[in-house]
Amino acid sequence: MPQNEYMERWRKLHGRRLDHEERTRKKAAREGHKASEDAQKLTGLRAKLYQKKRHHEKIQMKKQIKAHEERNVKSSAPNEPSTTPLPQYLLDRSNPTNAKALSSAIKNKRAEKAAKFSVPLPKVRGIAEEEMFKVVKTGKKTAKKGWKRMITKPTFVGPDFTRRPVKYERFIRPMGLRYKKAHVTHPELGVTVNLPIISVKKNPQNPMYTQLGVLTKDGHRSPTIVKMMGVSTPVLEVVKIL
């Protein structure tokens, strides 16, 4: 069993605590108190960063509320002056018009479609093979051959992966560095979700790294583009492994 699935296995065997839902509800209810306490006690640079973050959150919240309120708005003002004559008893009345505002879902779909081909890929600094691979000496003779390589970076292998026989295995992927899930953070919504990885679409470092499923770090290096379950926005396909 992979080392990172023991919590899921325990949950399947023994279930959750009897008061799990109550504890989750109380934790969510305490978040407001924690935010208020941080806003009052933080000082200096941390306070500035926290207030900036809260400012963005409030702006997004107000936008969502406004879009929800404007979904069905009735206005009494006519769009164009009528050319047909009206009787006297209808002159004082105004025809209500419905202004249908775009819902947030349609706006999100348009944003996703616009950003379909604009995945942010920074300039690539090539990772040397000495940093990526570790030479594994093998053989019984005194002059051991060094044709095997052990990958020192996190990798992804599919559920149907089976190792080749040791005699023919050139690239070794350690069990402790195999990732099946990744934490993905949406910068605009401020939401972090744990999603299973389907496949490695592209590693700009090297086509061989894409074939091996190597996940490289972000920052001054180029991130790996990963196809994940339940993710449709290309921005979310950039996985950052800290």
48 in a structural domain: no
179 in a structural domain: yes
Mean pLDDT of 64-80: 63
> What digits encode the pLDDT tens for the residues 136-193?
888 777 677 888 999 999 999 888 888 888 888 899 999 889 988 888 888 888 888 8
Contact 222, 121 (CB under 8 A): yes
Q: How many CB atoms lie within 10 A of CB 197?
A: 21
Strand order in the sheet with 145-151: 133-138, 145-151, 171-172
| Rounded CA separation 223/239 (Å) | 7
Q: Please calculate the CA angle 221-225-228 and round it to the nearest 5 degrees.
A: 140
Averaging pLDDT over each range in 65-69, 85-89, 171-175, 184-188, which range is the top one?
Answer: 171-175
Q: How many domains does the chain have?
A: 1
| Rounded CA separation 206/128 (Å) | 11
15 in a structural domain: no
How does residue 76 score in pLDDT terms, banded at 50, 70 and 90?
Answer: low
Can you give the pLDDT at residue 232? 43
Quick one: which of 202, 209, 208 has its CA closest to 239? 202
**Burial (0-12, 13-18, 19+ Cβ within 10 Å), 177:** middle
What does the DSSP 8-state code read for residue 99?
Answer: E
| Rounded CA separation 220/81 (Å) | 61
50 in a structural domain: no
Which residue stretches of the chain are H helix? 6-14, 20-41, 44-69, 104-114, 129-132, 207-212
218 in a structural domain: yes
> What digits encode the pLDDT tens for the residues 10-27?
888 999 989 999 999 999
- Reading phi first (left if > 0) and then psi (alpha if -120 to 50, else beta), residue 38 is in alpha
Contact 236, 228 (CB under 8 A): yes
| Rounded CA separation 184/74 (Å) | 40
93 pLDDT above the threshold of 70: no
Strands 145-151 and 171-172: parallel
Average pLDDT, the chain: 77
203 in a structural domain: yes
| Rounded CA separation 153/7 (Å) | 23
* 55-59, 67-71, 230-234: least confidently modelled range: 230-234
42 in a structural domain: no
89 in a structural domain: no
Quick one: which of 178, 210, 211, 179 has its CA closest to 195? 179
Contact 7, 16 (CB under 8 A): no
Domain residues for the domain of 149 are 129-239
